[in-house]
Chains A and B, each alone.
Chain A
């Protein structure tokens, strides 16, 4: 194996878990997906010779597992993600942009499932657009579109929630 199993777990398990949680919404499902990813890594990880590709391999594997499960469990309504109209929200000053973790997670989980993975990687792993394209196995143009629209949706959700909080008595 290109890298020691323990080192790979140490380096990537938290990021993979966060990514899984952002996709599944459920701690138990996120743990299961993370475990399944490392299970596959234990079986096939030896095929990876280039250690710089381990992270992308793990995230791709987890995402494939997630998609595989979703296909069987949930029938998403068809949505042409690439043509969905996006409108940029008005951004308040920085001082008004403090959100708590729970609010961010909830908002992330409310954006379109097709956008969610790209947006999660954008924030969680601070991946570049080309890296996200490799992980999600989709064209770079699609990644840019999904991140742009997904982030816009996320902003709307968070800012709306913030405004509603402020108006509560």
Chain B
């Protein structure tokens, strides 16, 4: 074995993990023992590996990641019917896949679409509430305490279904409020709110209701705040909820939209 052949054999190995039962490695190490230049080269390689490994170990996971991961376990322990859980898991898988295909770029842009994709992902995972309570005032106080938008303009029909709790989230470092409302049966409707005048400008005050990644969403903006409501109920049910106080004309508009195929616009939600 030549010096160069020994280098090729040893390159890409750390000294501690060398397979000394490998005849090629054994032969290369024998040469290291007798060849000073090769020995120095091998020592430099080892220094390089140690230096790189040490630097990479200094990467610290973001604060809060572990808590989010632990929260996922609690979510899976929540009481849901087997059928609902199965549907949610399937929807989550499909939605994540579709989300990646259609919305995920290597660099996530700060757009309404990417905000929507991320928040729907939170909803599909049934993100844990910081606070579980039926008192909206308590949720509001909590949101204010954690720096999330707290002065929310909640659509009037939603205020009637009852609140379950809420949490403060982050999206690109910006605080996001999550308020959970009662849905059909044991399900939850998730309302996300983000103060961002730029994104709010992309939306209007008219709510758009449409199916998205296996769930139904409604999005609108009021006073520089983007709102996104996510529900596992179908589009028609979400429309009926939000337009509970709206005119017959809108119901006709819904029928004309060709159920579930086109976005439905609800002009100015009453709050």
By a beta-carbon cutoff of 8 Å, the part of chain A in contact with chain B is 5-6, 9-10, 13-14, 17-18, 21-22, 24-29, 31-32, 34-36, 38-39, 42-43, 68-69, 72-74, 88, 91-94, 97-101, 103-105, 108, 120, 122-124, 126, 128-129, 144, 147-152, 154-155, 158
* With contact pairs A43-B76, A92-B44, A155-B48 given, residues A9 and B100 touching in the complex (Cβ less than 8 Å): no
Complexed CA–CA distance, A79 and B60 (Å): 33
* With contact pairs A22-B56, A100-B55, A104-B56 given, residues A126 and B14 touching in the complex (Cβ less than 8 Å): yes
Known: A18-B61, A38-B69. 10 other contacts (CB 8 A): A9-B66, A17-B61, A18-B56, A31-B62, A34-B65, A39-B92, A91-B41, A122-B12, A123-B53, A148-B8
Q: Fill in one digit per residue for B155-175: 1 if any A CB lies within 8 Å of its CB, else 0.
A: 000000000000000001000
* With contact pairs A74-B106, A99-B55, A151-B12 given, residues A94 and B44 touching in the complex (Cβ less than 8 Å): yes
Instruction: Name A22's closest neighbour in chain B (CB-CB).
Output: B56
Q: Fill in one digit per residue for B1-41: 1 if any A CB lies within 8 Å of its CB, else 0.
A: 00000011001111011010000000000000000000001
Q: Which residues of B contact A18 (CB under 8 A)?
A: 56-57, 59, 61
Query: Which secondary structure dominates where chain A touches chain B?
Result: helix
Complexed CA–CA distance, A73 and B98 (Å): 11
Q: Which residues of A contact B252 (CB under 8 A)?
A: none
**B187 interface contact, C-beta 8 A:** no
Q: How far is the CB of A129 from chain B (nearest CB, A)?
A: 7
Q: Which residues of A contact B202 (CB under 8 A)?
A: none
Q: Fill in one digit per residue for B235-248: 1 if any A CB lies within 8 Å of its CB, else 0.
A: 00000000000000
B51 touches A99 (CB 8 A): yes
A35 touches B106 (CB 8 A): no
Question: Which of B8, B57, B89, B108 is within 8 Å of A88, CB to CB?
Answer: B8
Complexed CA–CA distance, A93 and B96 (Å): 48
Number of B positions contacting A (CB below 8 A) = 49
**B107 interface contact, C-beta 8 A:** yes
A5 touches B73 (CB 8 A): yes
* With contact pairs A69-B104, A74-B106 given, residues A38 and B72 touching in the complex (Cβ less than 8 Å): yes
Complexed CA–CA distance, A21 and B12 (Å): 22
Q: Which residues of B contact A99 (CB under 8 A)?
A: 51-52, 55
What are 10 sample pairs from A and B whose C-beta atoms fall under 8 A apart?
A17-B59, A17-B65, A35-B125, A94-B47, A98-B51, A103-B55, A104-B56, A122-B14, A129-B13, A148-B8
Query: Which secondary structure dominates where chain B touches chain A?
Result: helix
**B146 interface contact, C-beta 8 A:** no
By a beta-carbon cutoff of 8 Å, the part of chain B in contact with chain A is 7-8, 11-14, 16-17, 19, 41, 43-45, 47-49, 51-53, 55-62, 65-66, 68-70, 72-73, 76, 89, 92, 96-97, 100-101, 104-108, 121, 125, 172
B59 touches A88 (CB 8 A): no
B106 touches A26 (CB 8 A): yes
Complexed CA–CA distance, A141 and B267 (Å): 63
Instruction: Name B67's closest neighbour in chain A (CB-CB).
Output: A9
Q: Which residues of B contact A42 (CB under 8 A)?
A: 72-73, 76
A26 touches B8 (CB 8 A): no
Q: Which residues of A contact B53 (CB under 8 A)?
A: 123-124, 126
Complexed CA–CA distance, A17 and B53 (Å): 15
Complexed CA–CA distance, A32 and B106 (Å): 12
Complexed CA–CA distance, A21 and B14 (Å): 23
* With contact pairs A43-B89, A88-B7 given, residues A14 and B68 touching in the complex (Cβ less than 8 Å): no
B100 touches A144 (CB 8 A): no
Q: Which residues of B contact A120 (CB under 8 A)?
A: 56
Complexed CA–CA distance, A149 and B69 (Å): 35
* With contact pairs A17-B65, A24-B106, A73-B105 given, residues A91 and B48 touching in the complex (Cβ less than 8 Å): yes
A97 touches B100 (CB 8 A): no
* With contact pairs A6-B73, A38-B69 given, residues A101 and B17 touching in the complex (Cβ less than 8 Å): no
Q: Which residues of A contact B73 (CB under 8 A)?
A: 5-6, 9, 38, 42
A39 touches B72 (CB 8 A): yes
Q: How far is the CB of A3 from chain B (nearest CB, A)?
A: 12
Complexed CA–CA distance, A73 and B43 (Å): 41
Q: Which residues of B contact A93 (CB under 8 A)?
A: 44
